[in-house]
Structure 1
Amino acid sequence: MKLSRGDVLLMSFCTGLIVANIYYCQPLIILIAKDFNLSESYAGRMTYLTQAGYALGLFLLVPLGDMFERKKQILLTTSLSVLSLLLAAFAPNFLVLEIASVLIGASSIVPQLILPMAANLSSAENRGHTVGVIMSGLLIGILGSRALSGMVGYYWGWRTMFLIAAGICFLLLFLMFKRFPQSRPSFTGTYKKLMSSMFGYIKTEPVLRETSLINFLAFAVLSSFWTTMVLFLANPPFNFQSLQIGLFGIAGAAGALAAPLVGRLSDNKDPRKNILYGLVLQIISMAAFFFTGSHLFLFVIGIVLIDIGQQAIHVTNQTRIYALIPEARNRLNTIFMSVSFVGAASGSAIGLWLWDMGKWPLYCLGAAVVILVNICIYRFYGKKFNI
């Protein structure tokens, strides 16, 4: 079976709505802190616990897509998302909310099951474009989730957002059941052999090592920004509410629009240069954030640049790993995305720490150092392995 344009758009739609589960909490930090009488930075733990849960789900569950029928796995995992979101909505204390956050992250891995499915069903010459379109849906879901949760939290409270998210996932279950194609697994061994095979790929595939390391640091930068910016905008001189903070997610929509273009460029003979362009955009964005002061024009420009840069890095890297070993795409994607979201969780935690140590200026300087390290890794792998 080959994917039609409608199939790709449907996968993009589902990917965006499910990945949004990970990010609803970010604009709600201030409201959750007030509800449970916590400091804002402590309530921010939710962000990296959700991302850590996502990394855990990626590592333990996504490889099963090479072993079991993917559609069935997608439906079962989405059902777990519904239950986890309901647990968050009715959490009686912050500890239960933290547990729910980990479960929400672990059960929101469905996009990483959809992407290999789409890659398998796409022709080689269109694979990058297909991945780019689906990644557009993913990024729109990420950015739209912040705007939506900020608005819902402001008017109806943070618990309502998790109830709405549970309802969305419940409706998606029926849509995916009706429309998603079935797939045949490519691995016939045991789960132990499946997991151990991944470590062999890490040893033998320098492209996998490079893309994973670069994505680790790129995700750390992006995630730390979206976590720390909530505290930046909620404090003087802005003193914004969750509604206003959430709206800044819309500014990053330019990154989503760039994804199909990046995907097409990634189908060319030398896609790796797109990564350097993305890293340069990230470092420029940090300069814009550092000099924002009390004027938001530079801040908005920085959001646009950091998200376009992230798309250039991520879509290019994901397209490159899908071209390595077709029969092991789920396992390669597991390594790649697990490392990426460990980076995201680490970035959120470090961003909150930098905020506590030196507020916004120290955060911007710290993130800039991480980007410069990433550029060094890019140059090192290019010279040593000529890739």
Structure 2
Amino acid sequence: MAVGVTRSQRLVLALVCAVAVSTIYAIQPVLETAGTGLGLARESLGWLVAAGQVGYFAGLVLLVPLGDVLNRRRLITVHLVLTAVGAAVVAVAPNGVVAVVGLAVAGLFAVVVQVTVAYVAAVSAPNERGRNIGAVTSGVVIGILGVRVVAGVLGDTVVWRAVYALLAALCLALALTVRATLDPDSRTSDARYVQVLASMGRLARTDRLFLSRGLITFFLFASFGTLWSGLALPLGTDPWNFGTTQIGLFGVVGLAGALGAARAGRSADSGRAQAITGSALVLLTAAWPLIARTEAALWLLIVGIILLDFAVQAVHVSSQHLLTAAHPNNASSVIGAYMAFYSLGSALGAITTTWAYSNWGWSGSCWVGAAYAVAALILWGAAQVTGITRRGAASQSPGHQPARV
């Protein structure tokens, strides 16, 4: 039953998302320094990045569905504590193997982000759901981008482990805060855990809106990953030759776009989620020619980054609004399955941007990122032509009534 979300509760939940997701991405700005300290060879550094992503993907499949079976407030609390454990292990890891284990554990329970989104969708009044989801999920992008700045500065001024010690402490503090400030959220379904897991597989086969939004998200975050996984490459060479801290500060630029897109949730509340998606994808495509001009002028890159992050967040919020509105009784499993597309898309972007850069330079990476954006735009256009709209969101999904505009 919707009970509403206060401004202070939205802030707490946004912080939960920001801190939890940071445990996955904090290793990237300090990767080389961490590898040296842990005794890892350069060719093995990829394991430090992959560990969190692998753990996160496993959590999406195995842990997020628990939100449709158990009390979500309790799950958020427990997952934050276990995320803190993983981050603490990384902070004190004596070698690479232990660090990889810690990163995998942190990534596994960082899916508290999706449980949080499902909690917000469940307790929000229908006319405020989009705004609340937008405010809370803005914390995800804040975490992904903001932690680059924090990790870069701490890596240069203290030690790379300091960022994980800080994240562990923040997770524990937020666990206590969640317990004290959030309203209880009783289980919303009589389904058992195994049934919820099975329903995730059926979504892709029977729900056209879910599949459409999932594929759009796959290419959306492939484009996002192309930028943020590869941006350090051109900025670290001529003519800029920036250091880790300076490169990390570009995350602040991304935050401006992400925070601006939080208003997309309000437009979704008024029934314009599909229009917002199309407009944002056009912006995403238009951002790449500006980003490609990195060597010419930094102000062009900055404008491109703001447009790109605004577009990504706007589409992401709109998608989650549509899906949680169409599946109010199993929001956790739906968001978990949806975010699997996000995880795979981010991984694809990270892999292809370095491959393209090694072959064709930064312009090659930008062509790849733009291609992903165009693919997402084409999928959105195809959905409009074939009539995959909010009204038909759940019409193909057994046991659910279609959401109305």
String of CA shifts for 1:292-344, please: whole Å, max 9, x gaps.
Answer: 21531111111111100101110111111011021011111111112211211
1:53 & 1:255 partners in 2: Cα distance? 28
String of CA shifts for 1:68-103, please: whole Å, max 9, x gaps.
Answer: 111221122112111111222223333433333222
Q: Which residue of 1 aligns with 2:403?
A: none
Moved more, 272-281 or 209-218: 272-281
The answer to whether the 8 A contact 2:54-2:104 is kept is yes
2:138 & 2:121 partners in 1: Cα distance? 15
The answer to whether the 8 A contact 2:121-2:133 is kept is yes
2:47 & 2:302 partners in 1: Cα distance? 25
**How high is the TM-score relative to the length of structure 1?**
0.94
> Is 1:70 matched with 2:65?
no
String of CA shifts for 1:241-289, please: whole Å, max 9, x gaps.
Answer: 2111111100012223223310111112232121122222222221112
Specify which of 325, 328, 340 is matched with residue 327 of structure 2: 325
The answer to whether the 8 A contact 1:212-1:339 is kept is yes
1:181 & 1:2 partners in 2: Cα distance? 9
Moved more, 326-335 or 47-56: 47-56
The answer to whether the 8 A contact 1:75-1:177 is kept is yes
Report the residue type matching 1:18 in the other structure: A
1:82 & 1:163 partners in 2: Cα distance? 9
The answer to whether the 8 A contact 1:150-1:243 is kept is yes
The answer to whether the 8 A contact 2:257-2:305 is kept is no
Q: Which residue of 2 aligns with 1:342?
A: 344
> Is 1:57 matched with 2:59?
yes
Q: Which residue of 2 aligns with 1:296?
A: 298
Report the residue type matching 1:363 in the other structure: S
Moved more, 88-97 or 279-288: 88-97
Quick one: structure 1 residues 380 and 305, their matched pair in 2 at CA, closer, same or farther if it must change by over 3 Å?
A: same
- Gap runs ≥5 in structure 2: 390-405
Q: Which residue of 2 aligns with 1:178?
A: 180
Counterpart of 1:27 in 2: which secondary structure? Answer: coil
Q: Which residue of 2 aligns with 1:206?
A: 208
Q: Which residue of 2 aligns with 1:308?
A: 310
The answer to whether the 8 A contact 1:47-1:348 is kept is no
> Is 1:246 matched with 2:224?
no
1:279 & 1:42 partners in 2: Cα distance? 36
Superposed counterparts of 1:91-240, under 5 Å = 91-240=93-242
What is the deviation of 1:42?
5.6
Q: Which residue of 1 aligns with 2:49?
A: 47
1:211 & 1:366 partners in 2: Cα distance? 21
The answer to whether the 8 A contact 1:139-1:255 is kept is no
String of CA shifts for 1:213-266, please: whole Å, max 9, x gaps.
Answer: 101111111123111112222233322221111111000122232233101111
The answer to whether the 8 A contact 1:48-1:349 is kept is no
Moved more, 243-252 or 170-179: 170-179
What is the deviation of 1:385?
2.9
The answer to whether the 8 A contact 1:279-1:313 is kept is yes
1:43 & 1:232 partners in 2: Cα distance? 20
Quick one: structure 1 residues 139 and 50, their matched pair in 2 at CA, closer, same or farther if it must change by over 3 Å?
A: same
What is the deviation of 1:361?
1.8
With a CA cutoff of 8 Å and minimum separation of 6, indicate the structure with the bigger relative contact order. Answer: 1
1:216 & 1:94 partners in 2: Cα distance? 30
2:388 & 2:121 partners in 1: Cα distance? 26
Counterpart of 1:323 in 2: which secondary structure? Answer: helix
What is the deviation of 1:382?
1.7
Q: Which residue of 2 aligns with 1:359?
A: 361
Q: Which residue of 1 aligns with 2:263?
A: 261
What is the deviation of 1:45?
4.9
Quick one: structure 1 residues 110 and 166, their matched pair in 2 at CA, closer, same or farther if it must change by over 3 Å?
A: same
Q: Which residue of 1 aligns with 2:85?
A: 83
1:358 & 1:247 partners in 2: Cα distance? 26
Find runs of 4+ consecutive structure 1 residues off by over 4 angstroms. none
Root-mean-square deviation over aligned CA pairs: 1.9
**How high is the TM-score relative to the length of structure 2?**
0.90
Counterpart of 2:190 in 1: which secondary structure? Answer: coil
The answer to whether the 8 A contact 2:235-2:241 is kept is yes
What is the deviation of 1:291?
1.7
Q: Which residue of 1 aligns with 2:10?
A: 8
What is the deviation of 1:17?
2.2
The answer to whether the 8 A contact 1:48-1:344 is kept is no
What is the deviation of 1:152?
0.7
The answer to whether the 8 A contact 1:52-1:341 is kept is no
Report the residue type matching 1:354 in the other structure: A
